[in-house]
Amino acid sequence: MDATALAVVAVGFSLFALAVVVAVAVRVGRLLRAYDGLVDGGDAAGFTEAVGRQTALVRTLSGEVADLRAELTTARAQVGDGLRHVAVVRYDAFGDLGGMMSFSAALLDDAGNGLVLTSINGRSETRTYAKGVQGGASPQPLSPEEREAVEQARPTR
């Protein structure tokens, strides 16, 4: 091989090596920018500190999530005990009165416990009754309207 051909091969190889060096330099620059973003621009010991900060943050957040789960469980139990299922049945208690002024209202929790309020309205007086409900039933006899109100208010599962 003559000297000219050898020189051309050497120049070609040098250009290839230069291209590889430039590509590596670009990648190293990207990695350094990512590293600086991770350690907030700190020094070489910053990486270890950054990992330590992130680990501490994850531990703190894990504890907070566990606390929130416990609070959510408590809140769900309390909501289940609330009288949140309501139904009202209006009716005419007496044949000579109109306007459906009498009513029975059932207020129950998720287990079907609560009470039934009944107001019977006449021409000259109004009577109000309250009866306890447990599991959708009452120890006192319920009128048909009261039973209907309890059935309408029963939570569907």
Q: How many CB atoms lie within 10 A of CB 106?
A: 30
Hey, where are the domains in the chain?
3-78, 85-153
> How many helices and strands (H and E) does the chain possess?
3, 4
HEC letters along 41-96:
CCCCCHHHHHHHHHHHHHHHHHHHHHHHHHHHHHHHHHHHCCCCEEEEEEECCCCC
pLDDT digits (tens, 9 = 90+) for 102-144: 999 999 998 899 999 999 988 888 999 999 999 889 999 999 9
Handedness of CA 6, 7, 8, 11 (dihedral sign): positive
pTM of the model: 0.56
Per-residue pLDDT in tens (0 to 9) along the chain, 157 residues: 688 888 888 888 899 999 999 999 999 999 888 877 766 655 556 677 778 888 999 999 999 999 999 999 999 888 878 888 999 999 988 877 677 889 999 999 988 999 999 999 888 889 999 999 998 899 999 999 999 999 999 877 5
C-beta of residue 85 within 8 angstroms of C-beta of residue 155: yes
